Amino acid sequence: MQPTTRRNFLRSAAWTVSSSLLAARSAWAIPAIGRTRPSHLKLSLAAYSYRQFLQGKQPKMDLFDFVNLAADMGLDGVELTSYYFPADVTPEYLHRLKQHAFLLGLDISGTSVGNNFCVPEGPAREKQMELVRTWVDRAAEMDAPVIRIFAGTVPKGDDEAKAVERAIAGIKAALPYAAERGVTLALENHGGITATPAQLLKLVKAVDAPNFGVNLDTGNFHGEDPYADLAELAPYAVNVQVKTEISRKGQKKEEADLGKVIDILRKARYSGYVVLEYEAAEDPMKAIPQHIKTLRNLIDAR
């Protein structure tokens, strides 16, 4: 258990009070983001794309190395996946990383956390809430505007409807503190209770907060027409993670039509980062620069 410090006490108190205020608000559902300006896209790269080099007992890379690679490819930003930070993260480390990216002309477009808001009340759930609070603080220290979050997975033998209710409650509880720190939370379509547009929208429309939206992962819908699913969710997106492959229902993976993906985002008037999150089998050191070049050409085409 984390020891109670003055900072943790004040943070928990702010969380509790803010959650109460949120609960008192009207029960309006979040609408699609009413964008009226033309789409403006920027290109970023997720550290997760180099996961085999960033993890393990003796990683071949650290996040500073990753930022260097991104700068070499002429990117606009980097998404610094939480999994690859050192265990003993300090504000000083975060500031050094932010400064390193800044001096290379890169934004920290966001970060991500592997939370599970479906777990029942108790110590395990509070641990998940604290995980998100911690990464809200870290995102704020790095000036990262958005955190990708998960809804979570239904515990074995549990009722899915109850798990959905807990996920909604967890998101609602997390949002006020994130707002205080200037951070947006983006819920990913990540299988389970967010596997389809209908499932994801059920959660999204149950939440009313200006600092909340969808983290649209272009490789995570597996229905008959994944592109139609992406188009349905694009108006709610506040962050987009692009995969180089898709898999339709009952079929093998196929190369994604990145041009079609960019067209979907433009038609939805999405403005923000398009983050390449590479998961294909080819060596990322060879494949990623080519995919970045393709995306850059598509984004720069007017």
Domains of the chain, residue spans: 37-300
Of the listed ranges 40-44, 206-210, 296-300, the one predicted with least confidence: 206-210
Distances (CA, A) of 5 to 9, 143, 177: 6, 24, 18
- The more confidently predicted of residues 25 and 154 is 154
169 with 152: CB under 8 angstroms? no
Tell me the pLDDT of the chain averaged across its residues.
Answer: 91
How large a percentage of the chain has pLDDT more than 70?
Answer: 89
What are 256's two structure tokens? Answer: 């994604």
> Which pLDDT score, from 0 to 100, does residue 33 have?
81
Residue range 181-218, pLDDT digits in tens = 999 999 999 999 999 999 999 999 999 899 999 999 99
What are 84's two structure tokens? Answer: 């690859």
State the residue for tokens 């947006």. Answer: 184
Residue 22 predicted with pLDDT over 50: no
> Which pLDDT score, from 0 to 100, does residue 302 have?
67
Polymer length of the chain: 302
Burial of 285 (C-beta count, 10 Å sphere; 0-12/13-18/19+): exposed
135 with 113: CB under 8 angstroms? yes
Residue range 222-280, pLDDT digits in tens = 999 999 999 999 999 999 999 999 999 989 999 999 999 999 999 999 999 999 999 99
Q: What is the mean pLDDT of residues 171-175?
A: 98
Pairing of strands 245-247, 253-255: antiparallel
Q: What is the mean pLDDT of residues 159-178?
A: 97
Residue 23 predicted with pLDDT over 80: no
Q: What is the mean pLDDT of residues 81-97?
A: 97
- At 149, is the pLDDT very low, low, confident or very high (cuts 50, 70, 90)? very high
Topology classification of domain 37-300: TIM Barrel (3.20.20)
Round to the nearest angstrom and report the end-to-end CA distance of the chain: 53
- Helix, strand, coil percentages, rounded to 5, for the chain: 45, 15, 35
> Which pLDDT score, from 0 to 100, does residue 2 have?
43
Q: What is the mean pLDDT of residues 55-76?
A: 97
- At 9, is the pLDDT very low, low, confident or very high (cuts 50, 70, 90)? very low
pTM (predicted TM-score): 0.89
Q: What is the mean pLDDT of residues 108-117?
A: 98
> Which pLDDT score, from 0 to 100, does residue 15 have?
52
Residue 3 predicted with pLDDT over 70: no
- At 11, is the pLDDT very low, low, confident or very high (cuts 50, 70, 90)? low
Output b/e per residue, 182-210; b: 16+ Cβ within 10 A.
ebbbbbbbbbbbbebbebbbbbbebbbbe
> Which pLDDT score, from 0 to 100, does residue 36 have?
86
